[in-house]
Amino acid sequence: MTALTRWIRRNLVVIAGLGTLAYLTLPNVVVLVFSFNKPNGRFNYEWQRFSTDAWTDPCGVADLCGSLSLSLKIAVWATIGATVLGTMISFALARYRFRARPAVNSLIFLPMAMPEVVMAASLATLFLNMGVDFGFWTILIAHIMFCLSFVVTAVKARVMSMDPRLEQAAQDLYASPAQTFLRVTLPIAAPGIAAGALLSFALSFDDFIITNFNAGSTVTFPMFVWGSAQRGTPVQINVIGTAMFAVAVLCVLVGQLAGARRKRS
Amino acid sequence: MSVTATPEAAPDDGPAPDAGPVQKPPLIKPAVRKRLVPYWLLLPGILWLLIFFAAPLIYQASTSVQTGSLEEGFKVTWHFQTYWDALTEYYPHFLRSVLYAATATVLCLLLGYPLAYLIAFRAGRWRNLVMILVIAPFFTSFLIRTLAWKTILADSGPVVGALNSLHLLDVTSYLGITEGQRVLATPLAVVCGLTYNFLPFMILPLYTSLERIDPRLHEAAGDLYARPITTFRRVTFPLSMPGVVAGTLLTFIPAAGDYINAELLGSTDQKMIGNVIQSQFLRVLDYPTAAALSFILMAAILTMVTVYIRKSGTEDLV
């Protein structure tokens, strides 16, 4: 008994940590299990019986796959927009001293320190009063706006930590400014840029609050899920949730393996 | 993009007159052009933020003092009464938001710290796997995961059953965080969802700051006969403060403005201020009230964050 209590005491952190991990993964397990359910009514909240219907026909619900591809499209464009604009800003902030710097820094920081609902409502108020039609473009504009700060933060951290002497060395070796940028600066900044891009893709794809205010009658995937919570959730939603989880884990694993191999060689 | 290729000046020693040994023959105005480079780089992104982030906030301010109706249109009449009306009518929602968000933040800290500690110091070769398990739930749409809590906390579900057989539901009902024999549609469910949704935002900064701690400091504390709990209290925790501050902010701010958890897991008695803003804006179409409410929320959060950052002494956070 004392041996057991001693073991528990010594591993208390591990036990508590694994408990939190279980709390974090539990809903994903539920989503996976209920993707094989055959619900009786419109709602997929209670287990009835096993079925693979939803997996064999993931687009069997009207509008579901349409909203999914719209979300993907918006996420891709928002990522491109936010990554290009954000990388430019972070190079300016990391490399140059100029008078407007503190002001720019706070303008970058503020969107991250603001509740989403405030940004969402004020942008929608502006669009409304300018008579802009809500839809694809207003969603895209809003997504680029809130992803921008995250890209800047990710890229800036990387560029700040890079040794400026590397570029001086390249220039000493008669590299042209363009060559220095493409062969030295960009490769070093690349992991930061990739992290920023990945983050904005995930944020844009999953965003609900800002989209809710600025979408009009356009339905993105999160909007579809939100609507289905009231109307009745099709099992296909669980299928897509599970597939997203699997794809993400696979990507991360492949990235990890590639990284490990590169380190070894 | 090739404009970025001329940063001869080192970033950390201010204006650097020595631009390296290979100087090109002086052109007419290279100095001016170089000084403008950062502004050209900033221009598109900053314009985007000014037009679609800053300007809307100012516009929102003017909307909050307008009166009128949808049919007749809205006019700026400096009607500050809207603020007063909004506050007196919806102060319970404000208080509830702060209370729920603060509770969720504390729970996130309590739950997240052991896991961040585990990844930083105890996971060994499992570190990457655990890290993936923390980040991966992000990728299943969080609305779907929040809906999954409906299944987990359902009246006939395992959680209610377990709490019931331990007679804990009586205790929680007495405390007012659940009602009768249910967990769903009670404050407990909403706080549980908020805690769950924002937990990764707590774990990641905690992990980052814990990872920077030299494990030899733990050994040194042990060599000086500090008990593990003392080592944690006097060495580890103080050194992880930047992570604690960043994590609590990243959890509290979005949680205070959230309306998804209250809508999906709560009932009308658990509505938060986000729910009110959403319904005023998208259903009632009372734009001045929605604007006033979001301004009050923004001001309250910015004030709380500023005070908190001052108090915790980590102003170099940004």
The answer to whether A204 and A74 have CB atoms below 8 angstroms apart is yes
The answer to whether A221 and B141 have CB atoms below 8 angstroms apart is yes
User: Which of chain B's residues have a Cβ under 8 Å away from the Cβ of A226?
Assistant: 143, 260
Interchain pair A171, B22: CB under 8 A: yes
User: Which of chain A's residues have a Cβ under 8 Å away from the Cβ of B21?
Assistant: 172
- Burial letters for A64-97: b for 16+ Cβ neighbours within 10 Å, e otherwise? bbebbebbeebbebbbebbbbbbbbbbbbbbbbe
Q: Tell whether B148 lies on the interface with A, counting CB pairs under 8 A.
A: yes
Out of B14, B59, B297, the one facing A118 most closely (by C-beta) is B297
pLDDT at B201: 92
Out of B5, B139, B144, the one facing A180 most closely (by C-beta) is B5
pLDDT in tens, A126-183: 999 899 999 999 999 999 999 999 999 999 988 888 888 888 888 889 888 888 888 8
The residue type at B62:
S
- pTM metric for this prediction: 0.87
The residue type at A60:
G
Interchain pair B59, A126: CB under 8 A: yes
Angstroms from A249 CA to nearest CA on chain B:
6
Q: How confident is the model at residue A31 (pLDDT cuts 50, 70, 90)?
A: very high
pLDDT at B4: 40
The answer to whether A24 and B196 have CB atoms below 8 angstroms apart is yes
Angstroms from A56 CA to nearest CA on chain B:
20
Interchain pair A121, B294: CB under 8 A: yes
For chain A positions 25-44, those within 8 Å of chain B (CB to CB) are: 25-28, 30-31, 34
Angstroms from B176 CA to nearest CA on chain A:
23
Angstroms from B98 CA to nearest CA on chain A:
13
pLDDT at B15: 45
The burial class, CB within 10 Å (0-12 / 13-18 / 19+), for B178 is buried
The burial class, CB within 10 Å (0-12 / 13-18 / 19+), for B167 is exposed
pLDDT at B10: 41
Q: Return the structure tokens found at A147.
A: 């992803």
Q: Tell whether A227 lies on the interface with B, counting CB pairs under 8 A.
A: no
pLDDT at B16: 45
- Residue by residue, pLDDT tens for chain B (318 residues) are 333 434 444 444 444 444 455 555 555 555 555 678 888 999 999 999 999 999 999 999 888 988 877 777 777 777 788 899 999 999 999 999 999 999 999 999 999 999 999 999 988 888 888 888 888 877 788 899 999 999 999 888 888 888 888 888 888 888 888 888 888 999 999 999 999 999 999 999 999 999 999 989 988 998 999 888 899 999 999 999 999 999 999 999 999 999 999 999 999 999 999 999 999 999 999 999 999 999 999 999 989 988 998 888 765 544
Angstroms from A10 CA to nearest CA on chain B:
10
Interchain pair A121, B144: CB under 8 A: no
| C-alpha torsion sign, points A121, A123, A126, A129 | negative
> Distances in Å between the alpha carbon of B278 and those of A118, A195, A233, B90, B281?
10, 32, 22, 13, 5
User: Which of chain B's residues have a Cβ under 8 Å away from the Cβ of A229?
Assistant: 143, 147, 264
Q: Tell whether A192 lies on the interface with B, counting CB pairs under 8 A.
A: no
Interchain pair B114, A20: CB under 8 A: yes
pLDDT at B13: 42
User: Which of chain B's residues have a Cβ under 8 Å away from the Cβ of A212?
Assistant: 278, 282
Which phi and psi angles does B309 have, rounded to 5°? -65, -40
pLDDT at B31: 56
Chain B residue with Cα closest to A222: B143
CA A177 – CA A34 distance, rounded (Å): 56
pLDDT at B149: 94
The answer to whether B144 and B290 have CB atoms below 8 angstroms apart is no
Over 80: is that where the pLDDT of A226 sits?
yes
Per-position DSSP letters for B229-273, written without gaps between them: HHHIIIIIHHHTHHHHHHHHHHHHHHHHH--HHHHHH--GGG--H
CA B133 – CA A146 distance, rounded (Å): 26
Over 90: is that where the pLDDT of A40 sits?
no
Out of A24, A172, A233, the one facing B147 most closely (by C-beta) is A233
pLDDT at B6: 40
CA A130 – CA A123 distance, rounded (Å): 11
For chain B positions 186-205, those within 8 Å of chain A (CB to CB) are: 196, 199-200, 203
| ∠ CA B147-B149-B155, rounded to 5° | 110
| C-alpha torsion sign, points B238, B243, B249, B255 | negative
Which residues sit opposite A37 in a β-bridge? A50
Q: Tell whether B90 lies on the interface with A, counting CB pairs under 8 A.
A: no
Q: Return the structure tokens found at B305.
A: 């964050």
- Identify which of B183, B93, B192 has the alpha carbon closest to the alpha carbon of residue B146: B192
Chain B residue with Cα closest to A126: B56
Helices and strands in chain B, H and E counts: 15, 2
The answer to whether A206 and B142 have CB atoms below 8 angstroms apart is yes
User: Which of chain A's residues have a Cβ under 8 Å away from the Cβ of B14?
Assistant: 97
Q: Tell whether A254 lies on the interface with B, counting CB pairs under 8 A.
A: no
pLDDT in tens, A87-137: 999 999 988 888 888 999 999 999 988 999 999 999 999 999 899 999 999
ipTM of the complex: 0.90
In 3-state terms chain B splits into helix, strand, coil percentages (rounded to 5) of 75, 5, 20
Out of A94, A96, A244, the one facing B140 most closely (by C-beta) is A244
pLDDT at A1: 65
For chain B positions 248-267, those within 8 Å of chain A (CB to CB) are: 249, 253-254, 256-260, 264
CA B43 – CA A194 distance, rounded (Å): 22
Chain B residue with Cα closest to A119: B53
CA B312 – CA B244 distance, rounded (Å): 10
pLDDT at B135: 84
What are the E-state strand segments in chain B? 66-69, 73-76
Residue that the structure tokens 């769903």 belong to: B184
pLDDT at B17: 47
Q: What is the mean pLDDT of residues A246-259?
A: 82
